[in-house]
């Protein structure tokens, strides 16, 4: 069996668009909360189970597709089998809202040595680094208005950029005199704040990043009159590594609202440089 990838997900979404997310989720007994419904929809898109109502069959397909399915406390939300991409799902309720990443800074790639991932994620397969897909859904009432699938390598700066800031703040906090600090992966933890020594203070980072539709508005603007908009950005080297890319090209010749365009985007580490990418869009 060939491992599934982002091209499979795009094809699945185009062939079976399900922008009425609450209705779709309820009919398949998937989830109640809209954020959870979005996560389940993304799983279905990658596993090819958007139209599957039998829970046992779906579970088998998910197991064939993913090596890891995570939780809300540790990124990523899922990882594709065979050393495939990691996927982080984020929901927003306003077209221009930023993404709340909380204590985890943006990731161009996911590394197995990261302290932010769980042991289950680290040990699910033998791996060192994975490409990172951000799946960002704009939810309006009970519908999925827009969905962006973008790779961290086109969206986020390299790890050292964020780590440098995090480390500088952490060292600054810990340099304050006459305060008892404890070892922590967060920016700091102050112990024994009160005379009884029973109160402690956690110093945490709250990272945010502009959503992909705002970040890449210089190459694509959504049509708000459409019921649903899909935007995907993949660099040329990555897309050429997918053997099923020709299937997507053929589908674009059959579906009028599916387009594949050559574009150039700013390098996240040096905006003076431009990167060649494929912009894939679809509307309903």
For residue 169, being part of any structural domain is answered with no
Tokens of 99: 């993404």
For residue 78, being part of any structural domain is answered with yes
For residue 43, being part of any structural domain is answered with yes
Range of the domain at 58: 6-158+208-283
- The mean of the pLDDT values for the chain is 92
Instruction: Tell me which of 73 and 99 has the higher pLDDT.
Output: 99
What is the band of 32 on the pLDDT scale with cuts at 50, 70, 90? low
According to the model, what pLDDT value does residue 269 have? 97
For residue 201, being part of any structural domain is answered with no
According to the model, what pLDDT value does residue 66 have? 98
Q: Could you give the CA distance from residue 43 to residue 12 in angstroms, rounded to a whole number?
A: 11
Sign of the dihedral defined by the CA atoms of residues 209, 89, 42, 36, in that order: negative
Looking at the predicted structure, is the pLDDT value of residue 148 above 90? yes
For residue 166, being part of any structural domain is answered with no
For residue 67, being part of any structural domain is answered with yes
Name the 3-class secondary structure at 149: strand
According to the model, what pLDDT value does residue 70 have? 86
Q: DSSP state, 139?
A: E
Residues linked to residue 66 through DSSP beta bridges, in sequence order: 80
User: For residue 65, which of 88, 49, 41, 89 has the smallest C-alpha distance?
Assistant: 49
CB–CB of 141/94 below 8 Å?
no
Listed in sequence order, the residues at least 6 apart from 15 whose beta carbon sits closer than 8 Å to its beta carbon are 251
Name the 3-class secondary structure at 124: coil
According to the model, what pLDDT value does residue 90 have? 95
Q: Could you give the CA distance from residue 239 to residue 263 in angstroms, rounded to a whole number?
A: 13
Q: Could you give the CA distance from residue 3 to residue 239 in angstroms, rounded to a whole number?
A: 15
Q: What pTM was computed for the model?
A: 0.92
What is the band of 29 on the pLDDT scale with cuts at 50, 70, 90? low
For the chain, report the end-to-end CA distance as a whole number of angstroms. Answer: 31
> What's the rounded mean pLDDT across residues 88-95?
93
For residue 34, being part of any structural domain is answered with yes
According to the model, what pLDDT value does residue 71 have? 74
Domain count, the chain: 1
What is the band of 181 on the pLDDT scale with cuts at 50, 70, 90? confident
For residue 58, being part of any structural domain is answered with yes
């Amino acid at each position: 069996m060939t491992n599934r990838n982002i091209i499979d997900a795009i094809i699945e979404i185009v062939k079976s668009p399900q922008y009425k997310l609450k209705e779709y989720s309820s009919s398949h007994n998937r989830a109640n909360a809209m954020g959870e419904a979005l996560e389940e929809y993304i799983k279905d898109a990658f596993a090819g189970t958007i139209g599957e109502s039998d829970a046992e069959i779906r579970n088998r397909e998910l197991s064939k597709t993913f090596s890891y399915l995570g939780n809300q406390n540790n990124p990523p939300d899922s990882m594709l089998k065979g050393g495939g991409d990691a996927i982080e799902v984020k929901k927003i309720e306003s077209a221009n809202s930023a993404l709340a990443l909380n204590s985890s800074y943006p990731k161009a790639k996911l590394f197995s040595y990261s302290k932010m991932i769980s042991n289950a994620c680290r040990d699910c397969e033998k791996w060192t680094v994975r490409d990172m897909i951000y799946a960002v859904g704009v939810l309006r009432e009970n519908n999925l208005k827009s969905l962006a699938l973008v790779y961290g390598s086109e969206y986020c700066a390299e790890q050292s950029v964020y780590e440098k800031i995090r480390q500088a703040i952490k060292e600054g906090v810990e340099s304050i005199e006459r305060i008892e600090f404890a070892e922590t992966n967060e920016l700091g933890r102050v112990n024994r704040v009160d005379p009884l020594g029973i109160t402690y203070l956690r110093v945490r980072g709250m990272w945010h990043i502009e959503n992909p539709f705002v970040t890449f508005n210089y190459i694509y603007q959504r049509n708000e009159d459409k019921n649903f908009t899909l935007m995907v950005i993949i660099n040329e080297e990555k897309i050429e590594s997918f053997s099923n890319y020709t299937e997507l090209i053929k589908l674009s010749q059959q579906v009028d609202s599916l387009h594949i365009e050559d574009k150039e985007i700013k390098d996240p580490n040096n905006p003076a440089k431009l990167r060649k990418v494929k912009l894939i869009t679809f509307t309903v």
